[in-house]
Amino acid sequence: MRSTLIKDLLKQNYTVIGQVRRDTRLYEKPEMNDKPGRGRPRKFGKVIDWDVIKYRPVEEIKLILYGKEQTVHCRSRV
- State the pLDDT at residue 5: 66
CB 12 within 8 A of CB 78: no
On whether the pTM is more than 0.75, the answer is no
Give tens-digit pLDDT for 43-69. Answer: 888 888 778 777 888 888 887 778 888
CA torsion, ordered 33, 24, 19, 45, to nearest 10 deg: -10
Report in angstroms the alpha-carbon separations of 45 from 29, 31, 35, 41: 5, 7, 17, 11
Can you give the residue ranges of every domain in the chain? 4-32+39-75
For residue 77, give the nearest of 26, 42, 19 by alpha carbon: 26
| Helix extents (H) in the chain | 4-11, 50-53
